């Protein structure tokens, strides 16, 4: 009981002689000022801790012979065995290649598509507000549809017996194709689906970049007799180039992560198509849930997380050097 009183007296009178009490008093004051804001943040912080940070510690499962009956902590350590198994098969290289190859196709096509759409929309937005709104809404809509529904769409086009594409082929007297058992077509199909779903959304970002360009440049160009095409290639594109580079770099940072819904739902998890459509995320999911090979799944997941992390950090570092405002951190 005595202690606090003495301390208080000391800190009130002779601060400099008792640094620890001063520190405590300062902390007290600082805490009083900030505690409400801290408690506001607390529920969110706790959720992040449980669902994001706890699994990070759980990464040790990749080095264990996991048995559900023993639990995470009591399962036996087996060092790098899981990784040896993973990289001992062809699978690891195969799904890595598919992930990188398909994601590269997606980045190239959807970047070009989005820039194209933004340029087109920019040409008509001032004088045809109503139509521009219609175009934008129509192009955005696919972004908001779940991949389950998208797989219904794709099935309506491609199913062998009564799909629209085969009907049309048959109508022209051509041979029909059994799409769901022909892996060679799937890189193109998935690229189209991805373009359809993502280009409209991405075009908004580029359009807002174009809107930020000073209109005086265009006026000056018009006075000098520049054509529309020249204005696009000599003014618009060069001025949004930093934005394009940043967006592409950020996508490259995520190139090790595949869109699970696209690869799982749209292909309908069809084994016949794995040779061209199996990616890291579907591989990890199958190892865990279908084959029950927890160790292998964890090893593949950790491989993805670590390489993915390095790429994100590199991409961000590069972005930061171009434009610090656009970097994630």
Partner 1 sequence: MIQSANRKPLGLRLKQSNLIVHFFLLLFSITALIPFVMLISASFSTEVSFGKYGYSLFPQDFSLQAYEYLFNDFGQIINSYFITIVVTFVGSSLGLLIMSLLAYSISRKDFKFRKPLSFYVFFTMLFNGGLVPWYILITQYLHLKNTIFVLILPYLVVPWFVLLLRTYFGGLPTELFEAAKMDGASEWRVFFQIALPLSTPALATIGLFSMLQYWNDWWLALLFIDDRKLFPLQYLLYTIQSNIDAISQNPEMNMGIIIPTQGVRMAMAVLAIGPIIFAFLFVQKYFVRGITLGGIKE
Q: Among residue numbers 33 through 52, which ones bind partner 1 (CB under 8 A)?
A: 33-34, 36-38, 40-41, 43-45, 47-48, 50-52
Q: Which of 6, 188, 313, 314 binds partner 1 (CB under 8 A)?
A: 313
Q: Which residues partner with 64 through β-bridges?
A: 77
Residues 6+ away with beta carbon under 8 Å from 134: none
Residues 264-283 contacting partner 1, CB under 8 A: 265, 268-270, 281
Cβ nearer to partner 1, comparing 8 with 70: 70
Q: Which of 21, 62, 210, 319 binds partner 1 (CB under 8 A)?
A: 62
Is residue 156 near partner 1 by the rule CB under 8 A? Answer: yes
Q: Which of 13, 74, 126, 216 binds partner 1 (CB under 8 A)?
A: 126
Number of separate helices (H) and strands (E) present in the chain: 17, 2
Q: How far is the CB of 9 from partner 1 (least distance, A)?
A: 27
CB atoms within 10 A of CB 246: 21
Is residue 284 near partner 1 by the rule CB under 8 A? Answer: yes
Give me the residue label for tokens 């082929």. Answer: 169
Is residue 53 near partner 1 by the rule CB under 8 A? Answer: yes
Residues 288-307 contacting partner 1, CB under 8 A: 288-289, 294, 297-298, 301-302, 304-305
Cβ nearer to partner 1, comparing 7 with 25: 25
Residues 6+ away with beta carbon under 8 Å from 64: 72, 75, 76, 77, 78, 295
Q: What is the C-alpha separation between 254 and 197, in angstroms, rounded? A: 18
Buried b (16+ CB within 10 A) or exposed e, 105-115: bbbebbbebbb
CA separation (Å) from 3 to 16, 32, 80, 158, 167? 19, 22, 55, 80, 89
Cβ nearer to partner 1, comparing 12 with 170: 170
Cβ nearer to partner 1, comparing 9 with 188: 188
Q: How far is the CB of 202 from partner 1 (least distance, A)?
A: 10
Give me the residue label for tokens 């521009």. Answer: 132
Count of residues near partner 1 by CB under 8 A:
102
Cβ nearer to partner 1, comparing 213 with 305: 305
Residues 6+ away with beta carbon under 8 Å from 227: none
Give me the residue label for tokens 């023993």. Answer: 70
From 95-103, 104-112, 147-155, 183-191, give the range in contact with partner 1 by CB under 8 A: 147-155
Q: What is the C-alpha separation between 221 and 85, in angstroms, rounded? A: 63
Cβ nearer to partner 1, comparing 85 with 157: 157
Is residue 131 near partner 1 by the rule CB under 8 A? Answer: yes
Residues 214-243 contacting partner 1, CB under 8 A: 228
């Amino acid at each position: 009981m005595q202690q606090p009183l003495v301390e208080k007296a000391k800190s009130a009178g002779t601060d400099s002689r008792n640094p620890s009490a001063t520190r405590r008093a300062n902390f007290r004051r600082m805490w009083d000022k900030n505690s409400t804001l801290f408690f506001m943040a607390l529920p969110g912080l706790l959720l992040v801790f449980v669902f994001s940070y706890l699994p990070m510690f759980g990464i040790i499962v990749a080095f264990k012979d996991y048995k559900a009956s023993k639990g995470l902590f009591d399962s036996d350590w087996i060092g790098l065995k899981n990784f040896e198994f993973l990289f001992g098969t062809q699978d690891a290289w195969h799904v890595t290649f598919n992930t990188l190859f398909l994601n590269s196709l997606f980045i190239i096509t959807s970047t070009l598509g989005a820039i194209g759409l933004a340029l087109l929309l920019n040409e008509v937005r001032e004088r045809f507000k109503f139509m521009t709104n219609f175009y934008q809404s129509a192009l955005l809509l696919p972004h908001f549809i779940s991949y389950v529904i998208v797989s219904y769409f794709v099935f309506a086009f491609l199913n062998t017996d009564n799909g629209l594409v085969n009907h049309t082929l048959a109508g022209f007297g051509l041979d029909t194709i059994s799409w769901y058992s022909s892996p060679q077509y799937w890189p193109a199909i998935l690229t189209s689906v991805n373009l359809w779903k993502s280009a409209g959304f991405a075009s908004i970002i580029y359009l807002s970049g174009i809107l930020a360009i000073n209109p005086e440049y265009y006026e000056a160009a018009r006075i000098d007799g520049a054509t529309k095409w020249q204005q696009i290639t000599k003014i618009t594109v060069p001025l949004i180039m930093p934005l394009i580079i940043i967006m592409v770099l950020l996508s490259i940072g995520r190139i090790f992560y595949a869109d699970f819904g696209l690869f799982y739902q749209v292909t309908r998890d069809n084994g016949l198509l794995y040779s061209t459509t199996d990616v890291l995320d579907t591989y990890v999911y199958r190892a865990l849930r279908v084959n029950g090979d927890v160790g292998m799944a964890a090893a593949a997941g950790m491989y993805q997380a670590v390489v993915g992390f390095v790429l994100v950090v590199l991409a961000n570092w590069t972005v930061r050097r171009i434009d610090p405002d656009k970097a994630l951190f």
